[in-house]
Amino acid sequence: MRRRTLLATGMAGLTTVAVGRPAFAGPGRRQLTVALVPLDDRPVNTYAAQMTAASAGAQAQLPPRELLGRFFTPGDGAAIARWLGTTDGVDGYVISVSMLAYGGLIASRTAAPTLAAALATLAAIRTLRSTRPEAVIEVHDTIQRLAITSTGTELDQYRDLLVSWAKLYDQVVNLGQEELRAQLDAVRVRIPDQVVEDYLAARARNHQVNRLMVEWVADGTINHLVLSEDDTAPVGLARAERVELEALVAQLGVGDRVEIFPGADEVNALLVARVIAAGTNPTYRVEYAGVSGEAWTAQLEGIPFAENIRRHVTSVGGRVVSGDADIVLAVNTPSTVPGQRAADLDAFVGRIGTLLAAGTPVIVVDPLIVNKADHDLVARMENHLDLAALLSYSGWNTGGNALGLALSHGTARWAYLRSSGSGFGVPDLRAPGQAHAEYLLYRLVKDDPWKNIVQVEAYAHARARGWDPLALTSEQKTYFDGWVSERLVPLTERYFADHFAGHRIVLGRRGAKTFTATLTRFESARVELPWDRLFEVILEPRLHLS
């Protein structure tokens, strides 16, 4: 069912007024701006944060593109540090330690950047505090994942062995499970000493910087810190590092200003949303498709998903409640009985539809399957819901990634709709509404048909040609830029036509009126591979409102 009715998210009971393009030509409020040093240059760390901000009428201001590096080429931390010193008149800072200290997430997993060089560029955060004492400085760092990055070299043969060794080492040495020592020794002899030494050197440097960031929260340099566990597990060296960091947080009494949780790529957008939603104190009620998040741990994570939700919600400035709430988090979890799955999903989507019809803001989090949407869920949503009425959706990559991306977009948009009627002048409601719809379309297409169909076909096509989908040459990358674009642009246009065209979206309110616009036309889409691999894609749709 493709409904063309208005579902006024968060605005139930108010008079609705359609808005034409000239309606908000007058002066508005000053645009809120966040200076963002992203984790790396991938769309999940740049475009997602920018669109989260844009959907709330704000701007995420990034360093010049050439400073961010690309794939195995690290960003220029020293130049980014200098750029931070030029950012006057912004409303807050969101700074990735991985980029500023090492040149990005991939560079942070290698031993090449020295501790001294990292500390030199990180001094820019101290300088910001001394020169802008009232600034809001949000910082995030990663607790290094267990696996090294696939490089397409002989080092890749030790990737899985290192993960096994890191888990066994933690179990035997830290947790005292001596019955596993023989396994530990057997795995260790299969890995060259230099590989282990480089791995441990990177971990030791990163852990020292993690600790320093906690200390900088304690001394007031940083307002708020997120330490995200990148692709973690219940046991492993990352677990041991997390425990030490949690002890330091408790010792310094900064538990109200530091969160530690599974994730990584979502944190840029999450903290941008935190700056945007500051002072709104949103509340969230969680509804699950299947088992409770208290009883389920997502793959590549080490804590129950309900706890991960609580920590992400705290990081965005909100809290989870059991009763009436500003926003409902509808979370796709596995069913208790596999044969009950269809009925559980039908009931789950039915509850979402009831909430939307009542004007309740809904964020859909789809963390069930790593690296893609649960198509069985999305297909039901397409058939029974007005997708344009959702606050947000994400099923991208790990559970924490999906949670944080949906939570950031939905929270920023909710905060904007909540405040759109305040202040003086006539705010520009149209541009944020268009950005919101474009980002919602992006998420649904990228997480389901791209991941479940086009990317699968692209991997198969690459392998049939004898190419490595995760290590393309420049010529192969150029070939696949065209190959993917030829498929993804028309697919995105069809998806818009089937599920967005003719639907009305809420733009904002003024007094007793709720302003809306109709999604009328798909204009274009930019499609390209950001790195020399088929793992992710740039998809930037442009829509038209009437």
Predicted local confidence at residue 29, as pLDDT: 58
Tens-place pLDDT, residues 226-274: 999 998 889 999 999 999 999 999 999 999 999 999 999 999 999 999 9
- The confidence band for 23, taking pLDDT boundaries of 50, 70 and 90, is very low
Last residue of a domain, one of 388, 420, 452: 420
DSSP 3-state of 125: helix
In a domain, 230, yes or no: yes
* 220, HSE (Cβ side, Cα atoms, 13 Å): 6
Please tell me the predicted confidence (pLDDT) of residue 25.
30
Mean pLDDT along residues 450-477? 97
Domain count, the chain: 3
Residue 189, pLDDT score: 97
Residue 239 three-state SS: helix
Pair 133, 53 in one domain: yes
- Looking at the structure, tell me whether residues 258 and 291 fall in a common domain: no
Per-residue 3-state assignment (H helix, E strand, C coil) for 284-344:
EEEEECCCCHHHCCCCCCCCCHHHHHHHHHHHCCCEECCCCCCEEEEECCCCCCHHHHHHH
pLDDT of residue 326: 98
What confidence tier does 129 reach under pLDDT thresholds 50, 70, 90?
very high
At 424 the pLDDT is: 47
Stretch among 92-101, 107-116, 151-160, 291-300 having the lowest mean pLDDT: 151-160
Whether 339 and 203 share a structural domain: no
pLDDT at 98: 98
Percent of the chain whose predicted confidence (pLDDT) is above 90:
88
Tell whether 308 and 409 lie within a shared domain.
yes
Determine the pLDDT at residue 292. Answer: 97
Output the domain CATH number for residue 205. 3.40.50
pLDDT the model gives residue 249: 98
Q: Closest Cα to residue 363, out of 322, 412, 317, 324?
A: 412
On whether the CB atoms of residues 441 and 492 are closer than 8 A, the answer is yes
What is the pLDDT at residue 177? Answer: 97
- Section 43-71 average pLDDT: 97
161 and 210 assigned to the same domain: yes
Residue at 111 is within a domain: yes
- pLDDT grade, residue 7 (50/70/90)? very low
Report the pLDDT averaged over residues 341-355. Answer: 98
Give a yes or no: residue 1 inside a domain.
no
Among the candidates 278, 298, 319, a domain finishes at 278
Is 19 a domain residue?
Answer: no
| pLDDT for position 9 | 35
Residue 108 reports pLDDT greater than 70: yes
How many Å apart are CA 455 and CA 514, to the nearest integer?
40
Cβ count near 193 (within 10 Å): 8
% of the chain residues with pLDDT over 70: 93
Considering the domain architecture, whether residues 386 and 463 belong to the same structural domain is answered as no
Asked whether residue 398 falls in the same domain as residue 341, the answer is: yes
Q: Is 190 exposed, middle or buried (0-12, 13-18, 19+ CB in 10 A)?
A: exposed
> What mean pLDDT, rounded, does the chain reach?
92
Do 414 and 448 share a domain, yes or no? no
**CA–CA separation, 460 and 152 (whole Å):** 18
Is 348's pLDDT higher than 50? yes
Beta-bridge partners for 540: 526
- The answer to whether residue 16 scores a pLDDT higher than 60 is no
Using DSSP's 3-state secondary structure scheme, residue 522 falls into strand
Is residue 24 a part of any domain in this protein?
no
What is the token pair recorded at 320? 């989870």
**Which pLDDT value is given to residue 262?**
93
pLDDT at 427: 60
Considering the domain architecture, whether residues 255 and 327 belong to the same structural domain is answered as no
**Do 162 and 220 fall within a single domain?**
yes
Domain that holds residue 483: 423-545
Any domain includes 14? no
pLDDT at 17: 42
152 and 91 in one domain?
Answer: yes
Q: Please indicate, yes or no, if residue 46 is contained in any of the structural domains.
A: yes
Question: Kindly report the CA angle at 535 between 111 and 233, in degrees rounded to 5?
Answer: 55
Q: What is the pLDDT of residues 287-331, one digit of tens each?
A: 999 999 999 999 999 899 999 999 999 999 999 999 999 999 999
- Alpha helices of 328-473 — where are they, by DSSP H? 341-357, 375-384, 399-419, 430-445, 455-464
Whether 15 maps to a domain, the answer reads no
Strands 513-528 and 538-545: antiparallel
**Residue 301: what are its φ and ψ, rounded to 5°?**
-130, 165
Residue 171 DSSP code: I
Domain identity same for 139 and 262: yes
* 518-529 residue pLDDT tens: 999 999 999 999
512 band by pLDDT with thresholds 50, 70 and 90: confident
Task: Name the amino acid, one letter, at 74.
Answer: P
| Domain's final residue, options 278, 295, 319 | 278
pLDDT in tens, 404-458: 999 999 999 999 999 886 654 456 799 999 999 999 999 999 999 999 999 999 9
pTM reported for the whole predicted model: 0.93
